[in-house]
Every structure is written in C-alpha cells, then in structure tokens.
Amino acid sequence: MKVAPSMLSCDFSKMGEETRRISKAGADLLHLDVMDGHFVPNITIGPSVIASIRPCSELPFDVHLMIDDPLKYAEAFAKAGADYITFHVEASSDIDETIEKIRSLGVKPGIVLKPKTPAEAAFPYLDKVDMVLVMTVEPGFGGQSFMEDMMPKVRALRNEIDRRGLSTLIEADGGISEKTIAACSKAGVDIAVSGTGVFKAKDPAEAIRKLQSY
C-alpha cells in the first residue's frame, strides 16, 4: 500500500514545515485537496499555495480538484507543481477534454467518484487515466468516518482494470486509518489517502509504516 497523507489535516500556519515533516516521515505522495466553495461546501487552497510548498518536498504532489470547472484551472495547478491532477466526473467540464488537457501539461490525470456515483461511471475512462480516486466520505471536509460500503465499488474497479490488463491505480480517500486500511487493501486499493490518521498520530512515521504494511 502506498500512502498519501492529506495536507487538509496539517497545521495550515506551518504548511512548508508540515510538508517537510511528513515527507521525512516516509510518505509516498502528498495529497492536496482543492475546494472551491461551490462544487463542495468548503474552500481550501489554490495554485499559489501549492507552488509555495513545492520546493519543500521531492514527493509527487497528488492534487485533488473538488471544483466545478477543472478544465479551466488545470494549467494553473500543473504550473504550481502537480504530478497528478484528479478531478470529479460529476464536475461540469467535459471529461475527455479535461483528461487530454491534463496529459498535455505533462501531468498524470485521474478521475474521482463521489460516494453516490457508481463504479461504472469510470469504466469509459480507465484506459485514459493513471488513477481513479474513490471517495470513502462525502467530499468537502476532513475527519469524517470511513464508508466501508464503498469497498464493492473498489472491487468492481479492480476487477475491470485487471480484466482489461490496465495499470490504472485505485486510490481511496476518507476516514482511512489503521482501523480501516485492511478493508481497503482487501478490496484492491493501491494508494490510501490519510489525513487525521497520519497528522494526528503521536508518531506520523509509525502511522505511515503501519498503513504501508497492508
């Protein structure tokens, strides 16, 4: 299991320091949640913040756009230092066009499914993206409880990806901790996003190691 700590749970007054700290703790990627206050009922960070912490880590930046028009803003986040840009199939931008735009910017594209969106919504794009992110909470706020009933969706994606011989990664995000990681691993998740499970742990490095052991 690869682990992508969510910066949504870090101390925002010390983002550069937190980026360095969690990178040294052994994370595989850093997950950055971008919310516009429209697509989801919260507002977080924009490209300038990501650009400001980019020099603080050599880890891949996994930028999750919870915004209504990802096509419009993809270039700004690519220039800010994103390595992956994932966006919601439920957003207003044309999905194929957005995937192509992200790819053209030298960034790996991915799509995201809200809890009520079925796995099948991702099937037409599995050979066009590098990652599918399954939300295991309703997007918008950190610290929510893990929705284990999303695991059949993960299994459906895993089966389809394997059936077609693709290398598309499956990521899960929301309420993932030492208590819930086993269910993710069993269902076929490749990358676990963990916010409070890492940042609020007494020893973040140990928390990351435990999650990676699955």
Catalogue the active-site residues.
33, 173
Beta bridge partners of 88: 112
* CA atoms of 163 and 68, how far apart (whole Å): 32
Q: Is the pTM of this model over 0.85?
A: yes
Do the beta carbons of residue 3 and residue 28 sit within 8 Å?
A: yes
Indicate the Cα dihedral angle 53, 86, 194, 188, nearest 10°.
-140
Inform me whether the pLDDT recorded for 142 exceeds 90. Answer: no
The pLDDT value recorded for residue 133 is 98
pLDDT tens figures, 176-211: 999 999 999 999 999 999 999 999 999 999 999 999
Helix (H, G, I), strand (E, B) or coil at 2: strand
pLDDT for 104: 98
Instruction: Express each pLDDT in 45-94 by its tens digit.
Output: 999 999 999 999 999 999 999 999 999 999 999 999 999 999 999 999 99
pLDDT at 45: 95
As a residue count, the chain comes to 214
**Tell me, what's the pLDDT at 26?**
98
Q: What are the distances in angstroms from CA 157 to CA 36, 71, 153?
A: 28, 24, 6
Q: Which of 90, 92, 95, 93 is nearest to 114 (CA)?
A: 90
With residues binned 3-state (H G I as helix, E B as strand, rest as coil), the percentages for the chain, rounded to 5, are 40, 20, 35
What's the pLDDT score for residue 139? 84
